[in-house]
Amino acid sequence: MNTTAYETVETDVLVLGAGGAGLRGAIAAAETGARVVIVCKSLLGKAHTVMAEGGVAAAMHNVAYQDTWEVHFADTIKGGKFINDWRMAELHAKESPERVLELERWGAVFDRTWQGRIHQRPFGAHTYPRLAHIGDRTGLELIRTLQDRAVHAHGVDVHMEVTVFKLLKSKAGRIAGALAYRRSDGALILYRCAAVLLATGGAGKMYRVTSNSWECTGDGTALAYDAGAQLRDMEMVQFHPTGMVWPSGVRGILVTEGVRGEGGVLRNSGGERFMERYDPDRMELSSRDVVARAINSEVLAGRGSPHGGAFLDITHRKPEFIKSKLPSMYEQFLKLAKVDITKQPMEVAPTIHYAMGGVRVEAETGATTVAGLYAAGEVASGLHGANRLGGNSLSDLLVFGKRAGDAAGLAAGADLKAAQSSIDPAEVDEAIAELMAPFGRPAGENPYQLQAEIQDVMSAHAPIVRDGPGLKAGLEKILDLAARSAICGTGGTTSRAFNPGWHTAYDLRSMLVNAEALLRSALERKESRGAHARSDYPDTDDQLTSINHVVERTANGMQVRAEHRPPMPEYLAEAVRHSYARYTPEEME
Amino acid sequence: MTDLDLKIWRGGPAGGELVAFRAPVLEGMVVLDAVLWVQANMAPDLAVRWNCKAAKCGSCSAEIEGFPRLMCKTPITEYGGQLTVRPMKAFPVIKDLVTDVSWNYEVNKQIPPFTPSEKDRSTSEPWRMQQKDVERVMEFRKCIECFLCQDVCHVLRNHDMGSAFYGPRFMVRIASLEMHPKDMLDRRPLLRGEAGVGYCNITKCCTEVCPEHIKITDNAIIPLKERMDDIYFDPVRSVINRLTGRGRRSKEG
């Protein structure tokens, strides 16, 4: 087989990823009249969005009539410890109700209030009950609705089980295409397009204990970085407070925050409801960074559960209530852990869940710093700042998926001619040669082994509470692993047909870019804020509230620099001040 | 700790065979863990689909000891010290445990999407629906598209009648649309024609393998059969139709 032969596909907008952001973006781009191709690493409908359980946050005031976009905005900013892109938080709070109602008009079926409106449940650090939901499988409903809308939309084509490994730019420096391989047969595809929308999700797979699937290797962040785009807030990675801990085979699998939203309480081995000591007002429904660190502290203090976690107990609720509101949690624990959550408490511990940081985007359009490249969803950064509130990711996907899709579609129409300019054949050949190289190294290291080592390094050196020496040592190990990964093999196999060893060899590159950016940014942020906690700088430094860390590729390798964010306009600052006075007095100190 | 004797079918479209592996057992291990251990340590090019590892995405469908199940939801303790994993039989093999399920996606495209009335489309007011009215549909919308029901359905599996019958998954899909309180489209001609609901002879195998416990036969297929019968095979209506000349309708399908 000719290793460098490729087929060519032409389109206007190429969407990478078929989770919520990718599908919503594709629908929006198609509505502008653009031809759209969605490329996804798995089958359609399997993306990580299906794992979202709790709900989608939108100030629709169906349950609490006092809720407004201003309160949602203030909750998001306070949860993100004030380093959010405030314009994104504003757009998100204002537009998410409309995006939810739109889903309903496309056939999504939400749980109802007695008045027949969309029901909203309480969730951590949201002032009011705000999460529109469908039991505990909101993500599945969202993705299925968008999937059916997209495949029946005009001009959307889905290429399943295809992985993009290189973004291509024209001489003028704007996006002109992408190179990909098809998993099933290893065939190469050159996509020529006028705009690329990155919607590739997170990078949780660089950790060992994670709620993320194999796909979440941070491809989009790495592709964008490689193409010269800026990354932002890469030190901010969320530990979800409640992942399963036992049995060991299921460690890390998510236990929805909905359990606490529906009244679940956390206890330590002494039976104490320990959140009283960490956040007496909001208790279990404090923000995720606080709850995750609280569980971590209890375990370190020797008050953990038998397998190193905390007990999450919802047995005071009626069995029928639990089964109707949390059906998949009931099933998950019964099947995988032989625990009946209507009768016994669950054992839970923090698990890597979400990347707040990612590609730097413009709030209005999702445009990155590379012309023709857009990003939305978890791969983008800004909305969530230093900590994401539960429920804000699904609304993020909808609001910014649509905005980025609109912008990419319009840009593709306007710039098609410019974009059809040359793709450098030498660049294509070079990228293909690099992708194929592991086949030529029969004695090269096993990529699965390297992946496991990356996970060990990140788990040990960038844990829930970090420190300078640990981060520095971790960075050295990651750079060493990068050097080894650059010359790894496929595990000794030579077939291009559905060869996960070969696929993993490529995934390593993405994980390593994400890991390096995380460690370098975390070293720069000399304070504790949100998800970024440092034992050597345990306090929040007010001087750093206006700082975001931007990561960029330079001739000297990866560089991190601090950048000042402009202050928010008066009406937004007023919304935050107002919320202190009225809603969450405990945060006055 | 004892080891697990694992036989995994390996091969491609041209054929293949069971290959024996031995994997260490961890507490709480599911079949997918064992397969992934083999992949990482013994057979780096072993092809297997998986994603969430929490029974929410429906990617890791396979036949374990001959029974269609999700590998991520099947503890190995159910089988003692040995077990056999094969790919789903109803779909063409791509490689090892990975099958070509693209046919399902083509079928889905044939089903007319959710279609609310003009009035519901044009109103700017949020819709009102009661929980009771949507609960029926919610059962069908739990489907994670693992296609185990398609795999076990004898119309597709043994008779290869994919050209005449959409299969249980898409009966569930049609039911979720037909029974949606706001959907106005009539898919009964489709059911009788292309979708071929008549081919199902309610053996309920699909219900038995559904990891989401959707009562596919009782709650989706039988009600759909009844709806279709109402317009096409009701003897009283048939006489009325003949008298009023409306009998032509049945040709739509």
Look at residue A463 in the predicted model and tell me its pLDDT. 95
Q: Please report the DSSP string for B70-102 in residue order.
A: EGGG-BGGGGTTEEEEE--SSS-EEETTEE--H
Which of B39, B109, B141 faces A109 most closely, judged by CB atoms? B141
Nearest by CB: A104 against B57, B113, B127: B127
In B, minimum Cα distance to A450 occurs at B40
The reply to whether residue A51 touches residue B54, judged by beta carbons under 8 angstroms, is: yes
Place of tokens 């997209």: A150
Distance CA A556, CA A541 (A): 30
Tell me what pLDDT residue A584 has: 47
B58 to chain A: closest CA residue = A46
Q: Which runs of E-coded beta strand occur in B67-177?
A: 67-70, 82-86, 93-95, 98-99
How high is the pLDDT of residue A81? 97
3-state SS class at B63:
strand
H or E stretch covering A534: strand A533-534
Per-residue pLDDT of chain A (589 residues; tens, 9 = 90+): 456 799 999 999 999 999 999 999 999 999 999 999 999 999 999 999 998 888 999 999 999 999 999 999 999 999 999 999 999 999 999 999 999 999 999 999 999 999 999 999 999 999 999 999 998 899 999 999 999 999 987 789 999 999 999 999 998 899 999 999 999 999 999 999 999 999 999 999 999 999 998 899 999 999 999 999 999 999 999 999 999 998 887 889 999 999 999 999 999 999 999 999 999 999 999 999 999 999 999 999 999 999 999 999 999 999 999 998 898 899 889 988 899 999 999 999 999 999 999 999 999 999 999 999 999 999 999 999 999 999 999 999 999 999 999 999 999 887 666 556 678 999 999 999 999 999 999 999 999 999 999 999 999 999 999 999 999 999 999 999 999 999 999 998 899 999 999 999 999 999 999 999 999 999 999 999 999 999 999 999 999 999 999 999 999 999 999 999 999 999 999 999 998 875 444 444 3
**Residues in chain B within 8 Å Cβ distance of A248:** 26-28
Dihedral sign for Cα atoms in the order B157, B158, B164, B170:
negative
Of B26, B56, B98, the CB nearest to A140: B56
**Pair B175, B89 in one domain:** no
Q: How many CA atoms lie within 13 A of B39 on its CB side?
A: 24
Shared domain for B93 and B194, answered yes or no, is no
**A56 three-class SS:** strand
Is the separation of the CB atoms in A267 and A311 below 8 Å?
yes
Q: Which B-chain residues 150-169 have CB contacts (< 8 A) with chain A?
A: none
- Give the DSSP H or E segment for B15: strand B15-24
Cβ contacts (< 8 Å) between B59 and chain A: which residues? 42-43, 46
- Residues B106, B177, single domain; the answer is yes
Cβ pair B57:A46 closer than 8 A: yes
CB A93 within 8 A of CB A69: yes
Q: What is the largest CA-CA distance in chain A?
A: 69
Task: Pick B28's closest partner by Cβ from A111, A337, A446.
Answer: A337
List residues bridging with A9 in a β-sheet.
A191
The residue from B54, B79, B99 where one domain ends is B99
Last residue of some domain: B99, B117, B140?
Answer: B99
- Kindly determine whether residue A109 and residue B183, on different chains, have CB atoms separated by under 8 Å: no
- Produce one character per residue of B99-134: b if its CB has 16 or more CB atoms within 10 Å, e if not: bebbbbbebbeebebbbbeeeeeeeeeebebeeebb
Q: Do A107 and B53 touch (CB under 8 A)?
A: no
Q: What residues in A contact B33, CB-CB < 8 Å?
A: 249
- Residue B245 — pLDDT band, cuts 50, 70, 90? confident
Q: Tell me: do B78 and B108 sit in the same domain.
A: no
Catalytically active residues of A, by annotation? 240, 260
**CATH number of the domain enclosing B58:** 3.10.20.30
Q: Which domains does chain A have, with CATH numbers?
A: 6-237+354-423 (3.50.50.60), 240-350 (3.90.700.10), 426-556 (1.20.58.100)
**Nearest-Cα residue of chain B relative to residue A99:** B126
**Do B244 and B169 share a structural domain?**
yes
- Per-residue pLDDT tens digits for A265-324: 999 999 999 999 999 999 999 999 999 999 999 999 999 999 999 999 999 999 999 998
Chain B's closest residue to A160, CA to CA, is B102
- DSSP string covering A57-122, please? E----SS-TT--HHHHHHHHHHHTTT-S-HHHHHHHHHHHHHHHHHHHHTT----B-TTSSBPEE-
Q: Which of B73, B113, B127 sits opposite A335 (nearest CB)?
A: B73
Residue B60 sits in the same domain as residue B106 = no
pLDDT, tens digit, 9 for 90 and up, residues B10-36 = 999 999 999 999 999 988 899 999 999
Q: Dihedral, CA atoms, A419, A423, A427, A429, nearest 10 degrees?
A: 130
Q: How far apart are CA A533 and CA A246, in angstroms?
A: 26
Which residue of A112, A141, A182, A493 is the best one to mutate when testing the B interface, meaning the one whose CB has the most B CBs within 10 A?
A112
Mean pLDDT of B221-239: 88
Return the beta strands (E) in B88-233 as ranges.
Answer: 93-95, 98-99
pLDDT digits (tens, 9 = 90+) for B137-171: 999 999 999 999 999 999 999 999 999 999 999 99
Q: What is the predicted pLDDT for the residue at A469?
A: 98
CATH number of residue B113's parent domain: 1.10.1060.10
**Helix, strand or coil, per DSSP, at residue A533:** strand
The alpha-carbon gap from B232 to the nearest alpha carbon of chain A, in Å, equals 28
| Residues B164 and B218 placed together within one structural domain of the fold | yes
- For residue A501 the two structure tokens come to 């060893």
- Chain B segment 73-92 residues within 8 A of A by beta carbon are 73, 75
CB contact under 8 A, B12 and A141: no
pLDDT of residue A4: 78
Q: Which residues in chain B have Cβ-Cβ distances shorter than 8 Å to A504? A: 44
On whether both B92 and B116 belong to a single domain, the answer is: no
| Distance to chain A for B126, nearest Cα, Å | 7
CA distance B125 to chain A (A): 10
Give the closest of B50, B105, B141 to A44, CB-based. Answer: B105
Chain B residue at shortest CA distance from A184? B94
* pLDDT value of position A582: 59
Cis geometry, peptide bond prior to residue A247 (ω within 30 degrees of 0): yes
Cβ B39–A448 below 8 Å, yes or no?
yes
User: Rounded distance, CA A300 to CA B66, Å?
Assistant: 46
Set of chain A residues whose Cβ sits within 8 Å of the Cβ of B142: 137, 140
A530-552 as b/e, with b when 16 or more CB fall inside 10 Å?
bbbbbeebeebeeebeebbbbbb
Q: Does B185 touch chain A (CB under 8 A)?
A: no
Which residues does chain A have within 8 Å of residue B177's beta carbon, measured at their own beta carbons? 107
Q: Count structural domains, chain B.
A: 2
Q: Which residues of chain B does A246 touch, with a Cβ-Cβ cutoff of 8 Å?
A: 28
- Same domain? B229 vs B182: yes
Interface test with B, best of A44, A498, A504 (most B CBs within 10 A): A498
Beta partners for B18?
B9
- Which of the listed residues B65, B99, B133 is the one where a domain comes to its end? B99
Q: Do the chains contact at B183 and A107, CB–CB below 8 Å?
A: yes
Q: What is the pLDDT of residue A241?
A: 95
Chain B residue numbers with beta carbons less than 8 Å from the beta carbon of A328 are 55-56
Same structural domain, B80 and B53: yes
Q: Are residues B82 and B148 in the same domain?
A: no
Q: How far apart are the first and last CA of chain A?
A: 67
**Which residues have C-beta within 8 Å of that of residue A572, sequence separation ≥ 6?**
A73, A86, A90
Q: Tens digits of per-residue pLDDT, A330-376?
A: 988 998 889 999 999 999 999 999 999 999 999 999 999 999 999 99
Residues 90-129 of B with CB under 8 A from A: 94-96, 98, 100-102, 105, 108-109, 113-114, 116, 120-121, 126-129
Q: Say if the Cβ atoms of B54 and A253 lie within 8 Å.
A: yes
Residues in B closer than 8 angstroms to A116, CB to CB, are 128-130
CB-CB under 8 Å, A502 with B45:
yes
User: Residue B175: which domain range?
Assistant: 102-252
Cβ–Cβ of B51/A328 closer than 8 Å? no
Tell whether B50 is within 8 A of chain A (Cβ): yes
With an 8 Å Cβ cutoff, are A501 and B114 in contact? no
The whole-angstrom separation of Cα A425 and Cα A131 is: 49
> Min CA distance, A414 vs chain B (Å)?
31
Asked if B193 is an interface residue toward chain A (Cβ–Cβ < 8 A), one would say no
Q: What are the DSSP E strand ranges found in A245-393?
A: 265-267, 310-313, 346-355, 358-359, 373-375
Kindly report the CA angle at B137 between B115 and B169, in degrees rounded to 5? 85
- B27 and B139, same structural domain? no
